[in-house]
């Protein structure tokens, strides 16, 4: 058996180097990972409407990306999220996806400081305007997660985030 693509404890644990292997196409693993990254509510609010608009596309994304590429053993989930933040910031024009990945990064334990430093670090590589755009998305997402945490705290008694914005 090959090792898990991303260890569950701790998420930043370095994966075992087994060399390069083909990506699996595991729909169930894709849905489980997406639920871990984005949460069940985000998953259902995103996949259903996308499937209504473009039937089969949501299933392809979940199976090929989250059940395939993400399941490869060569990188920890944390490292994949750092790469996602960098790629989406460099690409530009994909603010909703970047915001989702900022939220996902917080959920798996990256701090606001780490996310901010990743985006600042990109400036000489992708250009200051794209780094600034990424920082604006991150700042708005940090504010949204604070508001959501406060709302949950008022209703459920626990915010789900520590003072650095990391999921607890």
What pLDDT score does 44 carry?
85
Residue-wise pLDDT for 45-89, tens only, equals 899 999 999 999 999 999 999 999 999 999 999 999 999 999 999
pLDDT of 12 reads 55
pLDDT of residue 168: 36
Confidence (pLDDT) at 155: 62
With a CB cutoff of 8 Å and minimum separation 6, the contacts of 92 are: 130, 133
Structure tokens at 74: 């060569």
Rounded to whole angstroms, what are the CA distances from 91 to 102, 117, 139? 15, 18, 18
Residues of the chain with pLDDT under 50: 1-4, 6-10, 156-168
Q: Please tell me the distance from the alpha carbon of residue 15 to that of residue 76, in angstroms, as a whole number.
A: 6
User: Residues 6 or more apart from 89 whose CB is under 8 A from it?
Assistant: 98, 119, 122, 126, 130, 131, 133, 134
Q: Which residues contact 37 (CB under 8 A, 6 or more apart)?
A: 66, 77, 104, 107, 108
H-type alpha helices, 39-160: 40-53, 57-60, 77-91, 95-107, 112-126, 128-156
Of the candidates 164, 50, 55, which has an alpha carbon nearest to the alpha carbon of residue 115?
164
Supply the pLDDT for residue 70.
96
pLDDT of res. 11: 52
Query: Which pLDDT score, from 0 to 100, does residue 13 have?
Result: 65
Give the pLDDT of residue 143: 97
The per-residue b/e assignment along 51-84, b for 16 or more CB within 10 angstroms, e otherwise, is eeeeeeebbebbbeebbbebbbbebbbbebbbeb
């Amino acid at each position: 058996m090959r090792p898990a693509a991303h260890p569950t404890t701790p998420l930043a644990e370095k994966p075992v180097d087994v060399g390069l292997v083909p990506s699996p196409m595991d729909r169930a693993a894709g849905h489980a990972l997406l639920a871990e990254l984005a949460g069940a509510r985000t998953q259902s609010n995103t996949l259903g409407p996308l499937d209504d608009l473009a039937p089969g596309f949501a299933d392809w994304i979940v199976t090929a990306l989250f059940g395939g590429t993400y399941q490869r053993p060569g990188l920890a989930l944390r490292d994949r999220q750092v790469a996602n933040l960098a790629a989406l910031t460099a690409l530009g024009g994909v603010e909703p996806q970047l915001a989702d990945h900022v939220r996902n990064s917080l959920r798996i334990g990256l701090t606001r400081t780490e996310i901010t430093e990743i985006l600042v670090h990109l400036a000489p590589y992708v250009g200051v305007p794209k780094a600034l755009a990424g920082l604006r998305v991150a700042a708005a997402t940090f504010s949204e997660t604070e508001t959501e945490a406060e709302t949950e705290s008022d209703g459920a008694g626990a915010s789900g985030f520590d003072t650095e914005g990391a999921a607890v």
